[in-house]
């Protein structure tokens, strides 16, 4: 403890000792900071001799941020031995990070190979999530593990992709706060490195941390006039449809700067603070993929990606997050219900439209009824409201749940012939009768029913989490861990729905992907409920901006049911499997026997006669004969 810290900086250490292998780098060989000059100050701020205690790096893709963190880890293992905690969004990602990043770092850097024993050796202390070395230990964990975040005291913290961290770790609080609490005993000697691509404005952790820093930007000189400036996407110009003509327009002389000038510009650049930090010991860096070195991500490719993303809100969000390293502003304003009333379409409720490939349902539990909406889905997440059913009765009683079972056993007629069944139904278990709802859902024992609990947090990585076993009371008998409960990030799905409701057609004849089709027979009150909330920005107790949903009117059952139906589609795998999911559904629909069905004359379809609920698990959810698609 009395030995002074080494005067060697992280960038100097990397230049002397770091070797990049083919397993972790597209350019194997000795580390060259000159390839990415903007990383020099970032790494040096992590050095033991630098006064910063928190280093924040908000960045785009393809800029080398994670490798700069790996250089810091190598520097610690070699020159500043101490306990280190490296946190990834999940434990699984931590294991992958260990195999793909840490193991190559140790094996291919000679100075480190001799300090960490091989994993094959007995009592080596080298495991997948723990690396012991003389004077310290490197522990890797996931932000979703409260035990991992509180299991050790650490002087150094490497918090990677913090925007993908869960909002609350097993009820114990914010994962960043939990991790930083591990380093408090080290006082001024502690240091934390927070890295991430940003996500959504108002709830991005890295944006919040960067806003509290000195907000440094990398200024580079114009090769024509020498004007120092930081690169902005708005000044990247090209002829529409011809990304090869891309040039960067200088703010000083307005001359076009070509891609090959970038190497000299990066070499002559410097970081400049643009704000006064709230904490003098916090430094923040922001950089976009426009700075990506020649040979990595080119300006031409950035222009192509921008043109390809036009008209696709999800692709535009990805572009803004990963290329520009900036947050995306959600469209949280509620669409006008009058506009939605005017655009209703002439298709019949109770009948599955031709384009729909899958049915899901959302069930909202009220004190005196069950509200159920059935939605049809197609690729691109286009959706149709197929039916709206109200089942009267207290959720404490048996009758409404038996009626729900009959509803799920029902065959829905398809336009052109044939029938289809509901593939998945999410049921909200919140409210005052949670115990009774648990018991009835356990009694129904239908594998298509997913009991859910809604939370207000935002989670783009896993908007539906679980399942978590809970106790259920059935016929007066308590079944321990008798029901599997899913947690739904309702904020994420509300934003997704509003984005699709805001889509416009312009002069196009075809509906854009994601369009929400509403039948003419749906009531105006239902449409008002669909847009009953609005996203508003408030401030938390630390003064940081946060976004939350607020009611515009009292009733919002239609919105809740739409959110649950979308969560049910996620559980089926539509988001994970993408085109493969929809292709399989198209094949199943094409091969399903299409027998003429008697179509209703309009309005809501009358409930079918009582039948015994099918409690047998189908052999496969895509089985055309015994499953939900018939």
What is the pLDDT confidence band of residue 542, given thresholds at 50, 70 and 90? low
Characterise 436 by phi-psi region: left (phi > 0), alpha (psi -120 to 50), beta (else): alpha
pLDDT score for 427: 93
* 306 and 375 part of one domain: no
Determine contact, residues 175/87, Cβ cutoff 8 Å.
yes
Same domain? 295 vs 370: no
Phi-psi region of 304 (alpha: psi -120 to 50; beta: other; left: phi over 0): alpha
Q: Determine the pLDDT at residue 630.
A: 40
Sorting pLDDT into bands at 50, 70 and 90, what band is 148?
A: confident
What per-residue confidence (pLDDT) applies to 183?
A: 86
How does the average pLDDT of the chain come out, rounded?
Answer: 84
Q: Is 331 part of any domain? A: no
d(CA 6, CA 80) in angstroms, rounded, equals 8
Other beta carbons within 10 Å of 560: 27
Find where tokens 């992280």 sit: 10
| Pairing label, strands 236-239, 228-229 | unpaired
Task: Give the model's confidence band at 312: pLDDT under 50 very low, under 70 low, under 90 confident, else very high.
Answer: confident
Task: Identify whether residues 147 and 58 lie together within a single domain.
Answer: yes
| Arithmetic mean of pLDDT, 187-192 | 89
Pair (396, 248) in one structural domain: no
Strand partners, 221: 228
Note whether residue 499 is domain-resident: yes
Rounded-to-integer distance, Cα 358 and Cα 79, Å: 58
Mean pLDDT of 457-464: 70
Same domain, 286 and 385: no
Decide if pLDDT at 464 tops 90.
no
Q: Quickly state the pLDDT bin for 73 (edges 50, 70, 90).
A: very high
Does residue 116 contact residue 45 with C-beta atoms inside 8 Å?
Answer: no
More confident residue, 450 or 625: 450
Classify burial at 523, counting beta carbons within 10 Å of its beta carbon; exposed 0-12, middle 13-18, buried 19 or more.
Answer: exposed
Average pLDDT over residues 465-476: 78
pLDDT digits (tens, 9 = 90+) for 480-520: 777 888 888 888 888 889 888 888 776 667 888 889 999 99
Specify the pLDDT at position 147. 79
pLDDT classification of 607: cutoffs 50, 70, 90: very low
Lowest mean pLDDT among 61-65, 74-78, 209-213, 602-606: 602-606
* Torsions phi, psi for 346 (to 5 deg): -90, 65
Q: What percentage of the chain carries pLDDT values higher than 90?
A: 41
Q: How many CB atoms lie within 10 A of CB 559?
A: 26
The helix/strand/coil state of 490 is helix
Residue 333 has a pLDDT of 67
pLDDT at 191: 92
- Residue 50, C-beta contacts closer than 8 angstroms, at least 6 positions apart: 9, 44
Q: What would the DSSP string read from start to end of 413-459? A: EBTTS-EE---EEEEE--STTHHHHHHHHHHH--TTEEEEEEE----
Give 271-287 pLDDT, tens digit per residue. 999 999 888 899 999 99
The pairing of strands 464-474 and 156-160 is unpaired
Average confidence (pLDDT) over 169-194 = 85
CATH number at residue 575: 3.30.420.240
The band of 376, judged by pLDDT with boundaries at 50, 70 and 90, is: very high
Closest CA relative to residue 155, chosen from 247, 54, 84, 58: 84
To 5 degrees, how large is the angle CA 468–CA 469–CA 471?
Answer: 140
For residue 448, tell me if it sits in a domain.
Answer: yes
Do 201 and 61 lie in one domain? The reply is yes
Boundary of a domain, candidates 254, 287, 322: 322
CA dist 305 and 299 (Å) reads: 10
d(CA 352, CA 350): 7
Give residue 119's pLDDT. 65
Q: How far is CA 593 from CA 398, 486, 597, in A?
A: 35, 34, 12
The two structure tokens encoding residue 395: 């959720």
Q: Work out the pLDDT band at 364, boundaries 50, 70, 90.
A: very high
Q: How far apart are CA 599 and CA 417, in angstroms?
A: 9
Residue 564, pLDDT score? 94
Annotate 244-282 with b (16+ C-beta within 10 A) or e (fewer): eebbbbbeeeeeebeeebbeebbeebebeeeeebeeeeb
Average pLDDT score over residue span 167-175:
76
Q: How far apart are CA 462 and CA 550, in angstroms?
A: 23
pLDDT at 63: 87
Are β-strands 369-378 and 358-365 bridged in parallel, bridged antiparallel, or unpaired? antiparallel
At residue 466, the pLDDT reads 81
What pLDDT was estimated at residue 164? 86
Residue 602 falls inside a structural domain: no
Let me know if residue 476 belongs to a domain.
yes
Do 318 and 352 fall within a single domain? no
Asked if the structure places residue 618 within a domain, the reply is no
Largest distance between two CA atoms of the chain: 87
The answer to whether residue 9 scores a pLDDT higher than 50 is yes
Taken in order 473, 475, 477, 482, the sign of the CA dihedral is negative
Structural domain of 259: 10-322
CA nearest 233: which of 305, 285, 314? 305
Q: Percent of the chain scored above 70 by pLDDT?
A: 87
Give Cα 567 distance to the centre of its chain.
Answer: 14
Residue 564 corresponds to which tokens in the numbers above?
Answer: 């649950």
DSSP class of residue 607 equals P
Cα distances (Å, whole numbers) of residue 594 to 412, 422, 630: 13, 17, 8
Same domain, 387 and 438: yes
Tell whether 438 is covered by a domain. yes
Residue 32 is predicted with a pLDDT of: 92
Q: Are both 391 and 313 inside the same structural domain?
A: no
Structural domain count of the chain: 2
Same domain, 498 and 539: yes
pLDDT at 65 over 80: yes
Look up residue 55 and give its DSSP letter.
Answer: E
The model's confidence at residue 595, banded by pLDDT at 50, 70 and 90, is: very low
Cβ–Cβ under 8 Å, residues 85 and 158: yes
pLDDT in tens, 315-329: 888 898 999 998 877
Q: Are residues 275 and 411 in the same domain?
A: no
Residue 519 neighbours by CB under 8 Å, 6+ apart: 344, 345, 346, 347, 348, 349, 384, 385
CB 431 within 8 A of CB 451: no
CATH number of the CATH domain containing 185: 3.40.50.300
Residue 46 to residue 283: CA distance in whole angstroms: 10
pTM of the model: 0.64
**Residues 47 and 132 grouped into a single domain:** yes
Name the burial class of residue 371, with classes exposed (0-12), middle (13-18) and buried (19+) by CB atoms within 10 angstroms of its CB: buried
Tens-digit pLDDT profile for residues 106-133: 888 888 888 887 766 555 567 888 888 8
Average pLDDT over residues 453-462: 72
Residue 506 has what pLDDT?
64
194 membership: H or E segment, kind and range: strand 191-196
Residue 48 lies in a domain: yes
């Amino acid at each position: 403890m009395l030995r002074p810290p080494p005067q060697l900086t992280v960038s100097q250490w990397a230049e002397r000792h770091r070797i990049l292998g083919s397993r972790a780098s597209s350019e194997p060989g000795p580390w060259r900071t000159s390839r990415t000059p903007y990383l020099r100050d970032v790494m040096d701020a992590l050095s033991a001799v630098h006064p910063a205690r928190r280093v924040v790096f908000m960045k785009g893709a393809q800029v080398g941020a994670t490798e700069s963190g790996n250089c810091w880890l190598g520097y610690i293992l070699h020159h500043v031995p101490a306990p280190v905690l490296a946190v990834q969004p999940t434990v699984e990602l931590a294991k992958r990070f260990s195999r793909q990043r840490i193991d190559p770092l140790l094996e291919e850097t000679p100075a480190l190979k001799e300090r960490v024993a091989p994993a094959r050796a007995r009592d080596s202390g080298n495991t997948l999530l723990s690396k012991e070395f003389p004077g310290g230990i490197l522990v890797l964990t996931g932000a979703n593990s409260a035990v991992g975040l509180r299991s050790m005291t650490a002087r150094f913290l490497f918090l990677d992709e913090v925007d993908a961290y869960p909002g609350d770790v097993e009820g114990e609080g914010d994962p960043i706060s939990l991790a930083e609490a591990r380093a408090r005993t080290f006082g001024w000697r502690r240091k934390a490195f927070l890295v991430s691509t940003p996500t959504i404005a108002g709830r991005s952790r890295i944006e919040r941390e960067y806003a509290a820093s000195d907000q440094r930007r990398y200024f580079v000189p114009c090769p024509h006039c020498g004007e120092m400036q930081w690169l902005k996407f708005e000044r990247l110009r090209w002829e529409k449809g011809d990304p090869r003509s891309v040039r960067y327009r200088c703010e000083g002389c307005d001359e076009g700067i070509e891609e090959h000038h970038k190497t000299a510009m990066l070499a002559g650049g410097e970081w400049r603070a643009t704000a006064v930090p709230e904490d003098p010991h916090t430094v923040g860096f922001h950089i976009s993929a426009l700075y990506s070195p020649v040979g990595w991500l080119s300006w031409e490719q950035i222009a192509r990606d921008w043109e390809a993303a036009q008209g696709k809100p999800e692709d535009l969000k990805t572009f803004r997050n990963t290329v520009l390293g900036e947050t995306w502003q959600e469209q949280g304003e509620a669409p006008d219900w009058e506009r939605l009333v005017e655009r209703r379409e002439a298709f019949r409720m109770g009948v599955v439209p031709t384009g729909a490939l899958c049915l899901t349902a959302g069930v909202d539990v009220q004190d005196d009824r069950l509200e159920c909406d059935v939605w049809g889905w197609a690729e691109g997440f286009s959706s149709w409201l197929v039916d709206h059913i109200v089942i009267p009765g207290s959720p404490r009683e048996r009758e409404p749940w038996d009626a729900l079972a009959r509803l799920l056993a029902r065959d829905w007629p398809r336009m052109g012939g044939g029938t289809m069944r509901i593939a998945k139904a999410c049921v909200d278990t919140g409210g005052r009768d949670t115990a009774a709802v648990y018991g009835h859902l356990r009694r129904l024992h239908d594998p298509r029913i997913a009991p859910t609990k809604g939370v207000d947090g935002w989670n783009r990585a896993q908007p539906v989490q679980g399942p978590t076993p809970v106790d259920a009371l059935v016929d007066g008998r308590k079944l321990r861990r008798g029901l599997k409960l899913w947690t739904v990030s309702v904020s994420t799905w509300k934003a997704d729905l509003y984005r699709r409701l805001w889509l416009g057609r312009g002069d196009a004849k075809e509906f854009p992907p994601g369009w929400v089709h509403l039948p003419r027979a749906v009531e105006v009150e239902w449409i008002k409920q669909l847009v009953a909330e609005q996203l508003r920005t408030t401030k938390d107790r630390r003064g940081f901006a946060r976004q939350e949903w607020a009611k515009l009117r009292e009733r919002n059952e239609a919105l809740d049911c739409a959110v649950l139906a979308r969560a049910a589609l996620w559980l089926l795998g539509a988001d994970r499997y993408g085109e493969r999911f929809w292709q399989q559904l198209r094949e199943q629909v094409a091969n399903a026997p299409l027998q003429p069905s008697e179509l209703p004359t309009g309005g809501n379809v009358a409930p079918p006669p009582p039948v015994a609920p099918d409690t047998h698990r189908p052999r496969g959810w895509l089985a055309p004969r015994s499953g939900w698609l018939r």
